[in-house]
Structure formats: C-alpha cells, structure tokens
Amino acid sequence: MQFCQVIVDIAHSQVDKVFEYSCPDDLAVGSRVKVPFGGRVVEGFVIGVSGAPSFDASKIKPVKYVYDEQPALVPECFSLMRGIAERYRVPKAVALRLFLPSEMRLGRVNEVFTKYIKLIDPDISLNKAAKKQSAALEALREGDREFTPFCEQFGRAAVNAIVEKGGAEVYKVRRTRAPLSGEEEEFHPVELTPAQQRALEYIEQSPKTVQLIHGVTGSGKTEIYLSYIAEVLKRGKTAIFLVPEISLTPQMLRQLRRRFKGRAAIMHSGLSAGERFDEWWRLRSGEAKIAIGARSAIFAPLENLGAIIIDEEHDSSYQSETAPRYSTIEIARMRAEYNGCKLILGSATPSVESYICATEGQYGLVELPDRINKKPLPHIIIADMREEVKRGNASAFSRALREELAQTLSQGNQAIIFLNRRGYAKTVICQDCGYVAKCENCDVSLTYHSEENCLKCHYCGAKYHMLSACPQCGGVHLRYGGTGTQRVVSDLRELFPKARILRMDNDTVSGKDGHYKILSSFGRREADILVGTQMIAKGHDFPSVTLVGILDADMSLHFADYRSGERTFQLITQVAGRSGRADEKGKVVLQTYSPENYILRYAVNYDYKGFFENEVKIRKATGFPPYSLICRVMVTAEEDRAALEVLKEVYFAIDALKQSDEDEFIFFNKMHSPIKKIQGKVRYQVLMRLKSGKLLPCIYDIAVRSSTADALAYVEENPANLS
C-alpha cells in the first residue's frame, strides 16, 4: 500500500488543499480517482504519491476508485497549476480542469470502444453436446475476432460459456473518430526563401524564449511556423500551434492535414464532443505530436514540447473572458520556460504591448517587410463619405467602391465587403464633418445608452446629454453606428442584379459549421461577393479575391476603448490582406467620414512602425496601458442588495489599500457598470487605473474574499470591453 496526495474536483477556495488517501501500489501520479470526501464521493486528481503517510495512517481513508486509463494529467500540469492558481488566484482544481476536456470530467462522453475476443486456452474441457462452444473455440485459433459479429455467429450463450470457463477473453480497443479530411492529399514541400531561412536561423540561435515575427500579410509566416514544427518533430519533440479561428479557415485545416497527417490533432469548435475527446487522447497517448487549435489548445496534454506558436498574436480571442481570465501568451510563456523551448508569436500587426517587448529587447524580433515574390500589397483607396453625403448619395456604397466592384465582377474576380459591426449603433457620428462625441476627461469616444438616452464614458463613468446637433459644424445629420449586413446585401442586389452574393454574420448563420460552409462555398467560387462582419477578416486565403471594400472603417476608430486606434489599424491591415493574394493585383476601398485621421493614414501606407511610434507616444502621454494597468473588479448578482453588499466590501478593502499606497492609483471609483444588467444579473464595478501591477495579487485576494454565495466579485485586467 502507498499513499497519494489528491486535489478534489470542487471549485471552492475552502477546499483548495491537498488531501491524503491510501491507494494501490501501482497508482500513478496524474491519475483521476474517486475519493470519499465530507460524506460524499467526489472526483479528484492525484498530484503525488509517497510510501509513507504524512500523519496518522489509521485516519487515512482509501481511494474508492481509480479510472483505468493512462494518467490523464501530464507531469507539467502540476507546475502550471501552481503558476496559474498563484497568478489568477483560482483554486487549484479550477486550474487543473483547464487541462482536461470537459467531456472527460463528470463522464459526459462515452468513450467509443470496439470489443474483441481472443483465445486463451484451447484445451478447456467442454460438454460434448456443446457443439457451438467448441466451434467458437476452434474459430478463435485462426486469430482474434470482433466481439459482436462473433456472438451473432455462435450465439451469445456459447460465447459467454467459453469466456466463463477461461477459454477466451474479451478486450476493448479505443476507437478514434478522425475528423476532417486532407490526409489523402500529397504534400509537396516548397523551398524556403532566403528571408524565411534567415528567420528560422535567427530564432534557432537566439537565446530569448519569446520570439516575435512581424511580417506583412502574405510574407510567408505560416510556412516558417510549419517548417519550424517539422524540425521540432524531427528531433522527437512535440509542438502547439495556436490560431484564433481555425474552424473558420478551411484552407489552413487542409494544409495542416496534408502536411502532418495523423501526427496533428486539431481541436476546434466544429468538432463534436466525442471527436474533441478523441483528438485529446491521441495527444495524450503520444500518437499525435502537434496540437492545433484556438486558445484552449495551449493546455494540450503534450510532453516534451519543442515549440509553441501563436499566430495572429494580437487577436483578442487569446484573452479568456471566463474564469480563470488568463492571457494565453502568459500561459504559453510558462510552458515554454518549463520545457526550455521557444514561444513564437507572429502577426502582421503585433499588439503594441508585444512590439514594445520586442523593441526593448525582451523578445527576439524577426521583420519580414515583403510579401513572397515581392508581390505588392494591395493599393488602398480612401473614399470620403462626407463628400458622398454632400452629393446626395445616401446608399452604403461610395462611387469609388461601386466602380471598383463593377470592374472586379466584369473581370470574373471575387470581392469581399467588410462591415464593421463592433461597437455598432453606439457611437454618435456627424455625417457632415465626421465629428465624434468624446469624453472631456478621458479622450475616448462616448457610448450611447438608449435606456437613459444619454452618452456615457466607459472609463470614468461621466454622463453627457444626448446631442441634437453637431457641436462642431451645427449639422443635424447625426448617425448612430453603421449599416447592417442586410441593408448592404439589398443595396448590392440593386446595383449588381446578376452578381451572386453570400452573406455571413452572427445573426444569419447558426453554428460554426454554417460559417465553414459559407466560406468553403465562397472558396469554390460559387459566389462573386461575400458580405460579412469581423469573422471574415481573419487569415483566409482566397486567390481570386481582388477587391475588398471596407464600410464604416471609422466605427472601430471611435470605439470607447483606449485600443481603438490599434484595433482599427489591425482590422484594416488584416482585411486589406485578403485582397490580391495570388497572381492578380488587389485593391481595397476604405470608406470613412474622417479621411484625415492619422490611424487611417498609417494603415493606408502599411506603415506599422509609424503607427506604433505614434501610439506609444499617446499611451505614454495619457497614461494608458502598457504604461498603466486598467483593473476592474466586477460584482454581479441576481439581487441588487447582495451585489451592493459585496461592492461595498470590495470598495472599502481597495480604498484601504489606496490609503497605504496613494501613488499607485491614477484613478479609482465604484459605480454601476455601463450596462447595468446582463441576463438578469445586476452589474457593479470598482474601476481603477494603476501605475503598475504590483497590487494585483492583493486585489485578486480582495475579490475572492469578498465574494458571497449570492454575489460574485472577479478581477479583469485591461479588459477588452468595458460595457
């Protein structure tokens, strides 16, 4: 008998301890078990075993049940568990859950097994009358048989009888459901360009753990990632490759399957629960060596990691918005350091934060300023929508975009029309002069709240009267947000009655599968124009697309967010990158009410460095991240009273913290959250802007301590959305 240390699978800080049980000698670390706990039986994770108990052995209860499988948790989990629990102040069980497919816990998915039967002893004594039994036994001499058809052939009773007598044995083999095609296709390696080779050599010899590849769209970053992964596999190691929206990029999936075949496990939201679970096991068992997927694939059960790659590293989907609210890059860094391997971040538009790290020398930096074969980046034409309004054009399309569309269609090419729906209908914009209402204290745009008919600043809570006329030009053509996809499609039908149009947005398509179908159909050229929102901006490679129209480029510019400029620059660059990827030159028409805006000017010239230097200056001057930290403690509850009690508790605790360190706080207040109620829960917040992160652990502790059974308090760092 030995003893094991167990973390029980209960997400509560009061039981966030290690408990000891006695267990069989062969129990391995990482196994899942069932243990008696407080009068119940609960699931738990074995995080250690020892020969001797740490206290009175007579008081130690035995483990009730051991799951008969390879230990689910890889050894690295325990180090990461401590890192995550410490950093994000969550119970260790919550940290461990990240490493298991949800289907596995709580036994929600039936694993699919195939049963076989094999011969053990051909000479067992059988009743002479039992002809079927002896025939069955005889048949097994030829080799193992699948159980179900075998029973059909010889009869269930006969088969059971020979098993009972010890003549044969039934065993199970896990059956895996292999999703997605692409494996049949042959892979033809390309020769790397000198720039790609230099990039790989640089990364290889650099002593820095984190490497940033800043390369324009189409510069061959993907090829660099895949070559690096191939090299890592050759050395007998494993890799994790993260992309923001793999289920939306059919070409990427096919490419990966073609190149890595069964060695790649692809974890994406389009898989069924069973498929996800099977892919997970293929990684855990060592059959698959590369985990490919969105954010959560960073927790892939791989040992001996040789590389972690995060493509489109600036993408906001890498920030988890549910507990624990982790940053994927932070977790990836922990794993890279644990394994002594490289973390490669790549983007055409790195986040300001990452690029600062690269220019200041914390990260290695690879620059790829040219497209493969020096193909030019698409030319971006700016259409001034104020002029269109003056000319009496009330449609969603400028003259320039109409003309370019007509030309693209007549040449038999495809076009993408991109609508910016984020922050939609919330910003007030003057159509005559491009004026946008901003907060006097914070220099971010205000958000319209219809229920109170007022404008609010999400950073300081200030309220302003709704405008009836533009304070800048006196004009009365005030518009709330942009045009909807439906309207755009009907305008297009009128302008180009013969064009085949596909529409893709969250309102019209149900499930990721629907998106995938629309994109594949567009990829097969079954339509001429694709109209869509944010989700069509990412990484697609449609060779016949030679025109991209961006409607309402301004809308994200005037987001009530300090990252508005950054988001707009990223979005325009990403969307523009969809045009002219193959032989023909691409064009982009960008429609705006503020053509003089500096962000648009940098974007039009693909001037990332210019944008970056300017942005850094602004962030420094205004004290926004990364030169400060925006921290919000949210309090949500069903009942107003319960929420207010917790809010008070949080507020006074942080206020006490502030008394002892006045200097750290640039801003501090408690208030209603800009949206007071979501899904029936009231929302309050304590909002702060801090000089550094040094008080964060205390603030996390305050949130944990103050939460009650009726009201939850949690911390958000630099939240992407302050509503």
Residues that bind ligand ADP in the complex, under the rule CB under 6 A: 190-193, 196, 215, 217-223, 372
Q: Are 210 and 182 in contact (CB under 8 A)?
A: no
As measured in angstroms, the least distance from the Cβ of 442 to Zn ion is 3
Q: Are 22 and 61 in contact (CB under 8 A)?
A: yes
Q: What is the number of alpha carbons within 13 Å of residue 77 lying toward its C-beta?
A: 27
As measured in angstroms, the least distance from the Cβ of 70 to ligand ADP is 36
Residue 372 interacts with which of Zn ion, ligand ADP, none, CB < 5 to 8 Å by class:
ligand ADP
Residue 572 interacts with which of ligand ADP, Zn ion, none, CB < 5 to 8 Å by class:
none
Residue 120 interacts with which of ligand ADP, Zn ion, none, CB < 5 to 8 Å by class:
none
* Interface pick for Zn ion out of 383, 442, 492, 530 (rule CB under 5 A): 442
Of the two residues 411 and 441, which places its CB atom closer to Zn ion in the complex? 441
Among the listed residues 626, 656, 674, 6, the one whose alpha carbon sits nearest the alpha carbon of residue 327? 626
Residue 439 interacts with which of ligand ADP, Zn ion, none, CB < 5 to 8 Å by class:
Zn ion
How many angstroms separate the CA atoms of 217 and 542, rounded?
Answer: 13
As measured in angstroms, the least distance from the Cβ of 335 to ligand ADP is 23
As measured in angstroms, the least distance from the Cβ of 567 to ligand ADP is 20
Of the two residues 200 and 478, which places its CB atom closer to ligand ADP in the complex? 200
Of the two residues 377 and 631, which places its CB atom closer to ligand ADP in the complex? 377
Contacts of 501 (CB under 8 A, 6+ apart): 489, 492, 493, 527, 528, 529, 530, 531
Q: Are 80 and 65 in contact (CB under 8 A)?
A: no
As measured in angstroms, the least distance from the Cβ of 664 to Zn ion is 20
Indicate whether 439 belongs to the interface with Zn ion (CB under 5 A): yes
Is the bond leading into 324 cis (omega within 30 degrees of zero)? yes
Residue 441 interacts with which of Zn ion, ligand ADP, none, CB < 5 to 8 Å by class:
Zn ion
H or E element at residue 290:
strand 290-293
CB atoms within 10 A of CB 328: 22
Of the two residues 311 and 554, which places its CB atom closer to ligand ADP in the complex? 311
CA dihedral sign, ordered 404, 405, 410, 414 = positive
* Interface pick for Zn ion out of 409, 416, 457, 647 (rule CB under 5 A): 457
Of the two residues 258 and 399, which places its CB atom closer to ligand ADP in the complex? 258
As measured in angstroms, the least distance from the Cβ of 559 to Zn ion is 14
Of the two residues 193 and 395, which places its CB atom closer to ligand ADP in the complex? 193
For residue 656, give the amino acid letter.
A
How many angstroms separate the CA atoms of 122 and 168, rounded?
Answer: 8
Greatest alpha-carbon pair distance for the chain in Å reads 106
Residue 215 interacts with which of Zn ion, ligand ADP, none, CB < 5 to 8 Å by class:
ligand ADP
Of the two residues 217 and 483, which places its CB atom closer to ligand ADP in the complex? 217
Indicate whether 644 belongs to the interface with Zn ion (CB under 5 A): no
Of the two residues 435 and 542, which places its CB atom closer to Zn ion in the complex? 435
Place of tokens 């007598």: 165
Place of tokens 């129209």: 549
Of the two residues 218 and 674, which places its CB atom closer to ligand ADP in the complex? 218
Which segment (408-416, 438-446, 572-580, 667-675) binds Zn ion by CB under 5 A? 438-446
As measured in angstroms, the least distance from the Cβ of 187 to ligand ADP is 12
As measured in angstroms, the least distance from the Cβ of 344 to ligand ADP is 12
Which segment (224-232, 379-387, 459-467, 667-675) binds Zn ion by CB under 5 A? 459-467
How many angstroms separate the CA atoms of 638 and 644, rounded?
Answer: 11
Contacts of 150 (CB under 8 A, 6+ apart): 117, 136, 139, 159
Among the listed residues 208, 213, 210, the one whose alpha carbon sits nearest the alpha carbon of residue 196? 213
As measured in angstroms, the least distance from the Cβ of 563 to Zn ion is 15
CB atoms within 10 A of CB 119: 19
Q: Which two tokens stand for residue 187?
A: 């892979």
How many angstroms separate the CA atoms of 48 and 33, rounded?
Answer: 13
For residue 213, give the amino acid letter.
I
Of the two residues 193 and 327, which places its CB atom closer to ligand ADP in the complex? 193
CA distances from 248 to 233, 294, 495, 512, 567 (A): 26, 11, 29, 7, 20
Task: Provide φ and ψ at 684, rounded to 5°.
Answer: -125, 165
As measured in angstroms, the least distance from the Cβ of 224 to ligand ADP is 7
Residue 312 interacts with which of Zn ion, ligand ADP, none, CB < 5 to 8 Å by class:
none
* Interface pick for Zn ion out of 178, 389, 433, 460 (rule CB under 5 A): 460
Which segment (346-354, 433-441, 471-479, 696-704) binds Zn ion by CB under 5 A? 433-441
Residue 217 interacts with which of ligand ADP, Zn ion, none, CB < 5 to 8 Å by class:
ligand ADP
Residue 354 interacts with which of Zn ion, ligand ADP, none, CB < 5 to 8 Å by class:
none
Contacts of 694 (CB under 8 A, 6+ apart): 664
250 exposure class (CB count in 10 Å sphere: 0-12, 13-18, 19+): buried
As measured in angstroms, the least distance from the Cβ of 423 to ligand ADP is 27
Question: Reduced to 3 states, what is the DSSP secondary structure of residue 546?
Answer: strand
Residue 460 interacts with which of Zn ion, ligand ADP, none, CB < 5 to 8 Å by class:
Zn ion
Of the two residues 335 and 540, which places its CB atom closer to ligand ADP in the complex? 540
Q: Are 699 and 715 in contact (CB under 8 A)?
A: yes
The radius of gyration computed from the CA coordinates of the chain, to the nearest angstrom, equals 30
DSSP state of 112: P
Query: What order of strands is seen across the sheet that includes strand 587-592?
Result: 379-384, 587-592, 545-551, 414-419, 529-532, 501-504
Of the two residues 128 and 188, which places its CB atom closer to ligand ADP in the complex? 188
Indicate whether 441 belongs to the interface with Zn ion (CB under 5 A): yes
As measured in angstroms, the least distance from the Cβ of 657 to Zn ion is 23
Strands in 313-405 per DSSP E? 342-347, 364-368, 379-384
Residue 221 interacts with which of ligand ADP, Zn ion, none, CB < 5 to 8 Å by class:
ligand ADP
As measured in angstroms, the least distance from the Cβ of 229 to ligand ADP is 13
Of the two residues 318 and 435, which places its CB atom closer to ligand ADP in the complex? 318
Which segment (18-26, 89-97, 331-339, 451-459) binds Zn ion by CB under 5 A? 451-459
Q: Which two tokens stand for residue 634?
A: 């949210």
Indicate whether 690 belongs to the interface with Zn ion (CB under 5 A): no
How many angstroms separate the CA atoms of 499 and 494, rounded?
Answer: 10
Residue 442 interacts with which of Zn ion, ligand ADP, none, CB < 5 to 8 Å by class:
Zn ion
As measured in angstroms, the least distance from the Cβ of 560 to Zn ion is 9
Binding site for Zn ion (CB under 5 A): 439, 441-442, 457, 459-460, 462
